[in-house]
Structure 1
Amino acid sequence: MEPTLIFGQDLLFWIAILLTMVFFIDLATCWWYNALNWGPFRKFRDKLVKYHKYTRISLILLMVIHIVFHVLFQVYGITF
């Protein structure tokens, strides 16, 4: 029998991928603002910073969704 992922675990994997991507975008729009003040990044700095509010909200929402799915799948054993 081939090992397969249930849909829920696969969903958790893709949510984790999205969390990682949004986290690094959030870093680029917040903590690395001064680090982007050199070379070719200077012209993109202000464009990135204006999205910081949205990346922070989406990061929090993705964290909540990820934790809820962990509880549903691992504690209650709910599968799709």
Structure 2
Amino acid sequence: MLHPLETSELALCEEENRPRLFARTWARKEAYLKGLGTGLRRGLSTDYVGAAQNPGTDPKGWRISDLEVGDAHAAAVAIQC
């Protein structure tokens, strides 16, 4: 469901870290797609949002930041620049 690069990054992560990193990737993706105004109907594999190991590779014209919400949750905000 995710962009191929995000899927590859998650596959390279240590197995015990994958659920946390997947949640982080999902939160970043959802924040970006909501910012676009399309929500999940745009397709999760369309855009790379700099997932598990590469949080600094935001889509052009966007800044996506992870939010600290505790270990049991993931949240992000996307702002168009």
Q: Which TM-score band applies after superposition, normalised by the shorter structure?
A: 0.3 to 0.5
Quick check: which has more Rg, 1 or 2? Answer: 1
Q: Which has the higher strand share?
A: 2
The structure whose RCO (Cα within 8 Å, separation 6+) is larger is 1
Q: Which has the higher helix share?
A: 1
Normalized against structure 2, the TM-score is what?
Answer: 0.32
